Structure 1
Amino acid sequence: MAAGSGTDVGDAALLLSTQTATEHAHTQSHQQDPGSEGAWRPSPHWDGLRHDVINHCNHLIGCYQETLAELDKLSASSCFKSSSSKSDKHLQFVPTNLHSQRMEVTGPNSPGVWYEVITFGAPAHHHQAFKHGGLKRLLSKHTNNRDGSVSYSQDESSRARELLASVAQLQPLVFGLAEELLAVSLELNAAQLQQVLDSLTQQTEQFVHALKDELVKSALLAIHSQRSASDNNSHVHSNGLLCDNTLRQQASPGQQDASRRDAEEYVEEEWDRAWANVAMSLNCIHAMGDRLQGREHRHQEMTSSEEQEATGDTNCQNTASSSSSSSSSWQEQLLPLVVTLRDCVREAAGKARAAMTFVVLQGAVAASVAQGPEHIVQRRHAVFSQALSAVVCGFMLKLFGGLEDPDFLLQLHSVGVLVQFEGLLSTYGDEVGMLEDMEVGVADLSTVAFTVSEAKSEQADDLLPTLSGAWGSLVVEVPLPPETFESLPQEVKDGRLIRVHPVLFNIGINQQQSLAERFGDSSLQERVNQQSCERLRVYCNTLTDTLPHTAGIQSLSDLLSSLDRSVQTKKRKNVEVLWIAATVCRRVNGVRLTSCKSAKDRTAMSVTLEQCLLLRERHTLSPRHFSAALDCMRRDGCRMENVQKNVGSRKFAFSGVQLLTFPKLYRPPDGSFGSTH
């Protein structure tokens, strides 16, 4: 017997929906302010840029806090976002029509087997709409507009912080030894003077070695270039890092090359001059030290012969007076040289500090402002939050269903979990933008990991998942009841991260896709499917290599080859791609998610078809009863309840003419579709 159910996801989706973006903005705001008390502050120009970044993040925080406040008003009564609320501003982070579609198959002599699919509206930002495309297109345009901007790797940003720390440590040591040299000069002790001079030389050389770095030179060139752009370009944005390249593009390539060479030569000359001045001033101090020590040596030889002849208090007073005059002369001669050394060290350190602060600032904005203007950042956060909420629900169902399966638990912490999104969006009109949003949102999930913890109690609030970390390294913690937690493998109990491996396969099935295939462009769908096919093969190969004895993976190679052929085949509405991808996902214990525009109509056709295919292939559903079972699920099953819940009508929103363009197995029975009014 097969039974289907459609279950609300509960408060978990609301708790996770906007938490991602809010915590990210908070993190950026705190991390990007290097102007703490006692720290070196950048020039007014760069300090202004720093404040722009902070203001940008604070504005995002304000928007997200407002959204959270509105969600708090709703969560007590309802946590469901209907298809008609897709464009609601305060629900932009909440997935649309998110449910778990679960089927239990039981038999007289076998325990129940559960199959689940998470259904939700394609993660997309309907509030901003799709006039200018979705995330993939918007990010591509933004990247192209920033071709002249500067970016630094994480290693370079870390190196910059190390160099800033070296400046803070070494410059005071050089200055302290310079002061000590002046103090020692008063004592007319040549040996002690030489000792301090050697220490000063050693520390200055260490200072030069630490800071005369190629990263500093390249950053100085970038600063010079961006200042020139700021001076010449009236279209520079307030953050200074997203500047328009209009004027640069107006110049001929030859003029651009010449200008770049001139800038490089200027920066290199200035940088080399700064260090040459440090070396020259240190050499001058050395030369003066040698001269003073030689003079002292001659003075001592003269003094020893004079002392034999000197008698009386008068001679002693003259000797003391001579000694005082000599020490004063030493300090007077060293003082201007020491001041010059300090000035040269200060200049070189200032250039290095400014360059490394520039690198750190660039790295700091990379996670927020460099992602694009505010509307792109918000769009990306909203799409990601929708996708993440759905994945968390699917992972929790999969985890609770596999607690008794040691192979599954071993797979989780050693390989990670596959998350397979099935899209039914067309590549025509607004749905192109939705698919572009979905592609980026799914890809961003690859930076997410799960971890399992022991819950404080079995109270509902203590069993809700929580989110921690920052954008690009988020961790979802799933608490389990103490008794259940104790039965887990030690690696999972120790907090081993469970990595997410997301893939997206999309096949448009409606009348809009017919237009796209005849008169439009399906290249977006082809690219998404091809890339996901490659990622899926990588995951399966890793699983096979790591856990070769896991049940069900022996036939993966044939399935993957079949999927690859289907993806490459130029066939209209090739839904076989979706069927094979779903089979592979179930074979490797992955999380299945299905989406169309609102997860109401096309999604209903897909999940009911999937359930009947499972019954036929795994549970001996007779082929002659297949169509009757499929029609029954669609006419009387829980998907009709889902339609009623969303629009108040028990009719799928299809017309007879539209359904003629659908693949046959995706057409509902007569009487179950029509006008929703």
Structure 2
Amino acid sequence: MFYECVCNVFLCLQDSLLCDTLHGSMHDRDNSPMMRAGPPPDNHSLTYRDESSPVCKVYRFQTESSRWMLVREQMSDSPLTSSLPKQLLSCYIQEDRRRIQELRDLGDLSPHWEVLRSDVIAHYSHLISTYKETLTELNKLTGSSASFKSSCNKTDRHLEFIPVNLHTQRMQVTSWYDVVTVGAPSDHYQGFKHGGLQRLLNKPDSDKKRCVCVSPVYRSIFYSSDQSSRAREILSSVTQLQPLISGLAEELLQAALEVSPQRVQETLTKLAHRVRHMQTLTHYKHTHTHTTNTRTHTHYKHTHPSPGCLAFTWLSSPHLHLLPLVITLRECVCEAVDRARSAMTFVLLQGAATQASQGLAVTHRRDAVFSQALCAVVCGFALRIYAGVEDKPFLLQLCEVGLVAQFEGLLSTYGDEIGMLEDMEVGVSDLKRISFRITEAKSEQPADLLPTVSGQRGGFCVEVPLPSETYLLLPGELRDGRGLRVHPLLFNIGINQQQSLAERFGDSSLQERINQRSCEMLKSYYSTLREKLPNLTLPSSLSQSTVDDLLTSLDQSLEMKKRKNVEVLWLAASICRRLNGIRLTSCKSAKDRTSMSVTLEQCTLLREEHTLNAELFNKALDCMRREGCRLENVEKNIGSRKYAFNSIQLKTFPKPYRPPEGTYGKVDT
């Protein structure tokens, strides 16, 4: 269909690399319907223009064998830009309301803990109020405003949770090559005067502003979200067990009165199961808290009549002798429940206070940055699922090991961009808290094809609905709702003039640490993949470079400590593609430096995978930068078809990242 659409244009423009501009949507399964910001246009004429439609360009390039290949480049924004942040805000509001209710349900507390509870409730109440206001404003967005946030609006207070300039960048030759482009997930509204999340989260408590005051006695005690969740489970379980045990005790007495050995035995078996469960829960409580007295567990253990003891008493004594033991059992259970509630109350309150002690601004910032990162990775995941729905090895890899999501950063380690990189590092890392599930869409209406998110800060689940026809192609394991993991990685190399200053007068240790850590995580993922799926066939390249070779080269490249070592980015991207991963590229606004990176990657793929004539590489690169989708992206953001560079700045850029003459000169916004 694609080649038929451009056949006439191609024949008429034999002397031009750019065949023409097409606006519209592909009608194949690879092009995810949820990626369309609006309905596909009825008129597919070459002059059709609509902001809600993908921007498409068609090129013809010569191969090494002097044949011609047609290349389609497509860029589109996404309804996920606003739909996911709105859902996430609702999740945050519901979670914080639950936390407040949990704290109120704790009953009477000592004066110290009462003050702490009041402070924590005030913290969450403020967040709820702020998030409700933001959600109200986001619900007002319609049309293109709901699917696109321009670089000019990155400091807008009510758009704080929305990613900047989120787009899918796709290239089709004989197959699709995808990159998600997005402004670096960071909180431009709060700014970077005090740094970004990585720095703020590691500051001493005394340096954090607007904190909840936590007693020095307990300041060193930290409870993770997992431990807090376990505390909630224990509180719920012991509350349910108490009436069950009491009911079984009554049933035992009744069976004794009726002199029914079979019923007594059945009741004792049930009672033994419940009692053992209670003992397990109270043991966990004493292992994981610091405020309860060990006398509780000792008392419970030594005065608790065992089911065997109860059975012997019934066999050897009348009903009246059994009654005191049952009463003792009830008393022990009541005391165990009370003390378990007390201990778990401490965990919940201390956990809430620990999170609140980070400060309102830091919690808010982390929530907003995570929202931006989530939008980008869900966008990439959806594209990858549609592209790989019939790729059985890929689906097996997805189930058994999960999916690599490789973020490429082009931020400098100088000035405000250090703070952006610190935000981005935490936002990308927090994506480990999500899991994906694939579901069957109710219909093929756009609203029914949008992913949905549920959960809380400790863990979110993203459900990605597929049309029935596509969903039925999946293996049963995925249709059964299996949770799928994502492995987020970040590699960053600053390439602009500010990075030159950082390397001469500043500090690049943050970048070095991020890259080294991601390299280790990438090697760990590959090792697990090979261990679990030793016979899996991975995508290969005409260059015949194996993943092992590329990982070795990446290690060596990182050890070189070379300035603006963009080879790190190239190697990481190449490894990611061979591992069936998601590629995401960011700079401050995903507009200028990102455009240079995306076009370079596309031409590199054409050369390595489709034998683009090496002598025409630079010509093809200039053509994409001068006539392609990325310049349309610049205009969409700032209303000008000029990259935000000047000739002096570009002298500090690595040569492959310099645009052609006449395409730059506008001041950045």
TM-score of the alignment, normalized to the shorter chain, above 0.5: yes
TM-score, length basis structure 1: 0.72
Correspondence for 2:200 among 138, 146, 166: 138
1:670 correspondence with 2:661: yes
Residues 1:575 and 1:210: Cα distance change in structure 2 (over 3 Å): closer
Residues 1:345 and 1:489: Cα distance change in structure 2 (over 3 Å): closer
1:480 correspondence with 2:471: no
- The correspondence of residues 463-502 of structure 1 with structure 2, limited to 5 A, is 463-502=449-488
> Does the 8 A contact of 2:377 with 2:405 survive in 1?
yes
Correspondence for 2:648 among 657, 661, 668: 657
Q: Distance in 2 between matches of 1:173 and 1:397?
A: 52
Match of residue 418 from structure 1:
404
- Displacement of 1:274 after TM fit? 12
1:125 correspondence with 2:159: no
Q: Distance in 2 between matches of 1:623 and 1:415?
A: 37
Correspondence for 2:222 among 151, 170, 186: 151
- The correspondence of residues 425-574 of structure 1 with structure 2, limited to 5 A, is 425-547=411-533, 548-552=535-539, 555-574=546-565
- The correspondence of residues 192-207 of structure 1 with structure 2, limited to 5 A, is none
Q: Distance in 2 between matches of 1:646 and 1:23?
A: 30
Residues 1:625 and 1:353: Cα distance change in structure 2 (over 3 Å): closer
- Displacement of 1:22 after TM fit? 3.2
Match of residue 311 from structure 2:
none
> Does the 8 A contact of 1:416 with 1:499 survive in 2?
yes
- The correspondence of residues 73-152 of structure 1 with structure 2, limited to 5 A, is 73-78=140-145, 79-105=147-173, 112-142=174-204, 148-152=219-223
> Does the 8 A contact of 2:285 with 2:340 survive in 1?
no
Q: Distance in 2 between matches of 1:172 and 1:10?
A: 51
SS of equivalent to 1:87: coil
Larger radius of gyration: 1
Match of residue 392 from structure 1:
378
Structure 1: which amino acid aligns with 2:572? A
Q: Distance in 1 between matches of 2:178 and 2:440?
A: 25
Correspondence for 1:360 among 348, 364, 369: 348
Q: Distance in 2 between matches of 1:472 and 1:217?
A: 22
Q: Distance in 2 between matches of 1:273 and 1:65?
A: 44
SS of equivalent to 1:579: helix
- Displacement of 1:3 after TM fit? 3.6
> Does the 8 A contact of 1:100 with 1:117 survive in 2?
yes
TM-score, length basis structure 2: 0.73
Residues 1:55 and 1:75: Cα distance change in structure 2 (over 3 Å): farther
> Does the 8 A contact of 1:452 with 1:492 survive in 2?
yes
Q: Distance in 1 between matches of 2:204 and 2:94?
A: 24
Match of residue 611 from structure 2:
620
Q: Distance in 2 between matches of 1:360 and 1:407?
A: 44
Q: Distance in 2 between matches of 1:552 and 1:411?
A: 12
> Does the 8 A contact of 1:442 with 1:502 survive in 2?
yes
Residues 1:349 and 1:13: Cα distance change in structure 2 (over 3 Å): closer
Residues 1:100 and 1:163: Cα distance change in structure 2 (over 3 Å): closer
Residues 1:542 and 1:48: Cα distance change in structure 2 (over 3 Å): same
Residues 1:150 and 1:103: Cα distance change in structure 2 (over 3 Å): same
Match of residue 286 from structure 1:
none
Higher share of residues assigned helix: 1
Residues 1:42 and 1:484: Cα distance change in structure 2 (over 3 Å): same
> Does the 8 A contact of 1:161 with 1:356 survive in 2?
no
Match of residue 583 from structure 1:
574
Structure 1: which amino acid aligns with 2:421? L
SS of equivalent to 1:33: helix
Spell out, residue by residue over 1:246-286, the C-alpha distance to the aligned partner (whole angstroms, 9 max, x if none). Answer: xxxxxxxxxxxxxxxxxxxxx97xx769989x999xxxxxx
Q: Distance in 2 between matches of 1:385 and 1:361?
A: 26
Q: Give unpaired runs (5+ residues) of structure 2.
A: 1-59, 61-69, 208-213, 250-271, 304-329
Residues 1:67 and 1:345: Cα distance change in structure 2 (over 3 Å): closer
Spell out, residue by residue over 1:112-155, the C-alpha distance to the aligned partner (whole angstroms, 9 max, x if none). Answer: 21111111110000000000000000001156878933223545
Q: Distance in 2 between matches of 1:214 and 1:545?
A: 34
- Displacement of 1:21 after TM fit? 3.9
> Does the 8 A contact of 2:77 with 2:168 survive in 1?
yes
Spell out, residue by residue over 1:297-351, the C-alpha distance to the aligned partner (whole angstroms, 9 max, x if none). Answer: xxxxxxxxxxxxxxxxxxxxxxxxxxxxxxxxxxxxxxxxxxxxx9999999876
Q: Comparing 350-359 with 537-546, which one deviates more in the overlay?
A: 350-359
Q: Distance in 2 between matches of 1:627 and 1:395?
A: 31
SS of equivalent to 1:599: coil
Q: Distance in 2 between matches of 1:71 and 1:26?
A: 17
- Displacement of 1:7 after TM fit? 2.9
- Displacement of 1:400 after TM fit? 1.1
> Does the 8 A contact of 1:83 with 1:96 survive in 2?
yes
Structure 2: which amino acid aligns with 1:360? L
Q: Distance in 1 between matches of 2:302 and 2:465?
A: 61
Structure 1: which amino acid aligns with 2:356? V
> Does the 8 A contact of 2:283 with 2:297 survive in 1?
no
1:369 correspondence with 2:365: no
- Displacement of 1:589 after TM fit? 1.2
Residues 1:652 and 1:127: Cα distance change in structure 2 (over 3 Å): same
Residues 1:357 and 1:587: Cα distance change in structure 2 (over 3 Å): same
> Does the 8 A contact of 1:92 with 1:382 survive in 2?
yes
Match of residue 267 from structure 2:
none
- Displacement of 1:69 after TM fit? 1.5
- The correspondence of residues 265-304 of structure 1 with structure 2, limited to 5 A, is none
- Displacement of 1:636 after TM fit? 1.1
Structure 2: which amino acid aligns with 1:405? D
1:595 correspondence with 2:586: yes
Q: Distance in 2 between matches of 1:74 and 1:605?
A: 31
- Displacement of 1:5 after TM fit? 3.7
Match of residue 323 from structure 2:
none
- Displacement of 1:13 after TM fit? 2.0
1:60 correspondence with 2:127: yes
Q: Distance in 1 between matches of 2:627 and 2:122?
A: 53
Q: Distance in 1 between matches of 2:521 and 2:592?
A: 29
- Higher relative contact order, structure no. (Cα contacts within 8 Å, ≥ 6 residues apart): 1
Q: Distance in 1 between matches of 2:441 and 2:335?
A: 57
Q: Distance in 2 between matches of 1:133 and 1:365?
A: 23
Q: Distance in 2 between matches of 1:451 and 1:418?
A: 16
Q: Distance in 2 between matches of 1:411 and 1:279?
A: 52
Q: Distance in 1 between matches of 2:334 and 2:483?
A: 47
- Displacement of 1:475 after TM fit? 1.1
- The correspondence of residues 232-243 of structure 1 with structure 2, limited to 5 A, is none
Q: Give unpaired runs (5+ residues) of structure 1.
A: 106-111, 178-201, 222-266, 281-341
Task: Give the aligned CA root-mean-square deviation in angstroms.
Answer: 4.4
SS of equivalent to 1:468: strand
Spell out, residue by residue over 1:6-38, the C-alpha distance to the aligned partner (whole angstroms, 9 max, x if none). Answer: 53333222110242243033123214534788x
Q: Comparing 545-554 with 78-87, which one deviates more in the overlay?
A: 545-554
Q: Distance in 2 between matches of 1:10 and 1:211?
A: 47
